[in-house]
Structure 1
Amino acid sequence: MTIRFLSGAFCAALLALPNASFAQDAQSGVEQLRQFVRISKTAEGEFVQQQLRAPKPNEPQDKGLKVIRKTEGRFIFQRPGRFVWDTTKPFEQRLIADGKQLIMWDKDLNQATFRPAGQVLASTPAAILFGEGALEQHFDLEEGAERSGLRWANLRPKAKPSAGSNDLPYTSIAIGMSGGLPRALELMDGLGSVVQLSLMQIQLNIPLPASTFTFTPPAGAEVLRLK
């Protein structure tokens, strides 16, 4: 049995009302992020996601990070903890969080994988932005340097009191804000891999039908239920 999981990288550009954007851009990245988490109950938009890595020892070292994968698609979220991450290019794949479980549907493999949300959900880029809303329960927020026309907020995962460490696979997380909206997300792991995400065409607080976050595998699909 084969399970193909989402990969990624991000780049940016979002829509916002001009007057509101001007006022919000005067705020720090951390202030904009806090406000976004506070006011955003539902949203939908588009994303571009890239996964990059540092050159290998036998590759030219002056080329910088190399793009090894790029995906595009749409997203929908509803707090707390519900979202659809719908990849459309270069393949069709859907990640759905319904508040209790995480479902991945791979059209090419005709395969649906169900698993409890838990830490798997918490470690996804979508959940970092669109999760339960208690962002500062899990992260310390620090103001980052302004770059690429965005104001950045750095997220430092808080250590678990019982374990003394955090299970997130990322050593560095940064969110680029503009006009009160997240336009870019950057995540780095301990092996030098970088995920960059760009969010576009965001619409906030739209009505969503209850069926948005439900999924029934088509007849004949392989279904995996993981514990």
Structure 2
Amino acid sequence: MQRLFLVRAITVVVSIFILFSPSIGIAADADSGAEQLRQFVRNSKTAEGDFVQQQLRAPKANEPQDKGLKVVRQTQGHFAFQRPGRFVWDTQKPFEQKLIADGKQLILWDKDLNQATFRPAGQALASTPAAILFGESSLDQHFDLIDGEDRLGMKWVALTPKKDPNTKGGNDLPYTKISIGMANGLPKALELMDGLGSVVLVTLDKIQLNVTLPANRFNFTPPVGAEVLRLN
């Protein structure tokens, strides 16, 4: 269950972050967070860097209530993105796991389990913003951007999906709140909150802008002897 939760969180994070692949023209820090984000959308190509991902929860009834959110799980690693539709989210600690999208399929590789799971990218990412954010369309066409408070040295922006009259039951996003912290034209943090009050916080570091990535960066071949699952 823990790894399934992380996969869901990672999928949403990378789906969003493909949108934020840094641009050559970086917004000045004086610009609002929403405007910095829009400049990313207009100019993003590729990016890579490091991440730390934390799962947070509120204190339980028998725990001190003045300590704020508690870190219950933390992973870290390296990411790389190329629009449209390609990414590698490489978790290195505390266990090795890769989530890879090559434009056609989504691949989860778990080294400890010696298992690779393949599924069609579009179907696997249908419940995330990926279907919108992998493309080249305008961010404002699909989300309302709401500037929030300045905290932790970042300008925060809330992304609220716009209602699609052609979609029954509203959007299928697994998170009720998506916020991005921008600083000096760079996305520095993402906060994802679900309806149960669980929070995923991803902080980003050492981001390289519009780098040239090798063509095979998003290829993956399971090692000999690995269990391979192919889901339709």
- TM bin, normalised by shorter chain, reads 0.7 to 0.9
Q: CA RMSD in A?
A: 2.6
Question: CA offset at residue 63 of structure 1?
Answer: 2.3
Report the equivalent of 2:18: none
| Structure 1: 4+ residue segments shifted above 6 A | none
2:58 maps to 54
In the other structure, the counterpart of 1:216 is 221
Match of 1:116 in 2: 120
Contact 2:49/2:79 (CA < 8 Å) preserved in 1? yes
The 5 Å alignment of 1:17-28 reads: 24-28=28-32
Identify if the C-alpha distance between structure 1 residues 123 and 34 changes in structure 2 by more than 3 Å, giving closer, same or farther: farther
Offset from partner CA, 1:7-32 (integer Å, 9 cap, x none)? 2699xxxxx9xxx87x6101000000
Which residue number in structure 1 is paired with residue 134 of structure 2? 131
Question: Cα distance, 1:6 vs. partner?
Answer: 6.0
Q: What residue in structure 2 maps to residue 143 of structure 1?
A: 147
Work out whether 1:81 is the aligned partner of 2:85: yes
Query: Any unmatched runs of 5+ in structure 2?
Result: 14-21
Map 1:153-164 → 2, pairs under 5 A: 153-161=157-165, 162-164=167-169
TM-score under structure 2 normalisation? 0.84
Q: Tell me: CA distance 1:3–1:133, structure 2 relative to 1, closer, same or farther (3 Å).
A: farther
Question: What is the CA deviation profile of residues 181-205 of structure 1, one whole-angstrom value per residue up to 9, with x for unaligned ones?
Answer: 1001001000000000111111111
Point out which structure has higher relative CO (alpha carbons under 8 A, 6+ apart): 1
Long gaps (5+) in structure 1: 11-15
Q: Is 1:190–2:198 an aligned residue pair? A: no
Q: Is the 8 A contact 2:122 2:131 kept in 1?
A: no
Counterpart Cα distance in 2 of 1:37 and 1:219: 40
What's the offset of the Cα at 1:210?
1.4
CA distance in 1 between counterparts of 2:219 and 2:133 reads 17
Paired positions, count: 216
Determine helix, strand or coil for the equivalent of 1:63. Answer: coil
Cα distance between partner residues in 2 of 1:51 and 1:136: 29
| Amino acid across the alignment from 2:147 | E
Shift of 1:4: 3.5
Seen in structure 2, the aligned counterparts of structure 1 residues 36 and 51 have a Cα distance that, compared at 3 Å, is: same
Taking structure 1 as the reference length, what is the TM-score of the superposition?
0.86
User: Identity percentage over the alignment?
Assistant: 69
